[in-house]
Amino acid sequence: MNSSYDSKLWGGRFRSKEDELMEKFQNGFKNTLWLLEPDLIGSIAHVSMLIKSNILKQNEGEKIIDGLNSILEDYKNSNLDLDGEYEDVHTFTELELIKRIGDLGKKVHTARSRNDQCNVDMKIFVKKEIKNVISLIDSFLLTLKNKAEENPHIMPGYTHLQRAQVVTFKHHLLAYYNMLKRDKKRLTTSLETISESPLGCGALAGTTHSIDRKFTAELLGFESVYDNFIDGISDRDFVIETMSNFSIIMMHLSRLAEELCLWTSSEFDFVKLDDKYTTGSSIMPQKKNPDAAELVRGRTGRVYGNLFTLLTVMKGLPLSYNKDMQEDKHSFYQSLTTTKECIEIMDKMIETLKANPKKMKKAVKKGFLNATEVADYLVKKNIPFRDAHSIVGQIVIYSEDKDKAIEDLSLDEFSKFSEVFEDDIYDYINYENLLKKGIKKEML
């Protein structure tokens, strides 16, 4: 008969070993070592509760906790031997504990299932990493704000990727600042969603032991426990919600990356990226490619894909636990690492970016970016806006035919379209002055 502690925590019921392919197919140990610390932290809290509830004797529980702490210390100091074939992190932790303190270690799993153990580990990890991502966003927000304040230069604003109205580079960057502020708020709100502890839910129906779920919840920094055991075991909403937040962050980063790609092209030449975040061509010596921005843009699809993967995994699962849910580990971890890397690299790109205000101002001169303000001028002269819109449309056609900017038309030319034009039109549609009028002052 196989010992259940040879390599599996469930081997006692089986007559034969797993097929080697099956063992490899379901193994998640090496790919989820990042769960080892949360697993040890959760186990220490669980044993502390077993002592409090008189399920373990004081001296037994303390010896188990000392063993768990010794594993944790060795892990943090990179002194832990992680070689060997283990089904998962939870199996490794228990077998390592038994190796260190003997058969007493077999009591660590009293009143607990791998189902609630696994889910609490994920919650501990996700909570910690949300805070880390928020910290990265805070750094990026500061960079965006500082770079914006340094660059109040006028530039074309775009709709449909066509020059539309004059804005400032500062105002443009602050649009991304506001996007990232919303991203931070979403993540902060998600921390509230992850406030329930699943420990004590057991496999799906709790336990007959008189445990104190609220005690472990408090020890682990949760505000409450799941009201429903089945929900506590089958819940992956917190993973999906966080991955959804990551996807929105990546969407914002990708939009900025796309603009960096445009702005650094010869056609725009609005900004220059530091050499540290660009690469060249193996054949064209003149090239300086915005590779970091392109990689951020490309890796956004990876994060989207992981979210869709987990949504697809969960959509047809009956309650409560199914092995399919193991897919949450790979999907989440890849999205997490990708999102963190992209925030950091984008932060560094923006911090070292150099604006080209001369090119931006030159681009403003083409595209009739003061046409809307000409219409506003006419409205102030008591012409209905719809009529003013039509008049300015004709002025634009005329200017195109004459290859002139609107501000370069003479007063006689303006008067061909309306008698209300006076010399003050030139001051009114001057690009620097435009930003000082009305609510536009907020862009300065």
- Cα(192)–Cα(55) distance, integer angstroms: 31
- Type of residue numbered 237: D
DSSP 334-378: HHHHHHHHHHHHHHHHHHH-EE-HHHHHHHHTTTTTTHHHHHHHH
Q: Is 282 a catalytic residue?
A: no
* Spatial contact of 434 and 373, defined as CB atoms under 8 Å apart: yes
Pair type for strands 224-225 and 196-197? parallel
Kindly state the tokens that stand for 95: 């077998």
The answer to whether 321 and 115 are in contact (CB under 8 A) is yes
Structure-token match 């303000």, residue found = 373
The Cα-based distances of 426 to 185, 385, 390, 406 in angstroms read: 44, 20, 20, 9
Region class of 344: left (phi > 0), else alpha (psi between -120 and 50), else beta:
alpha
Annotated active-site residue in 135, 224, 265, 281? 281
Q: Kindly report whether the peptide bond that precedes residue 254 is cis, defined as omega within 30 degrees of 0.
A: no
> What would the two tokens of residue 110 be?
């009293």
Q: Can 281 be counted among the known catalytic residues?
A: yes
The catalytic position among 3, 78, 160, 266 is: 160
Catalytic positions: 160, 281
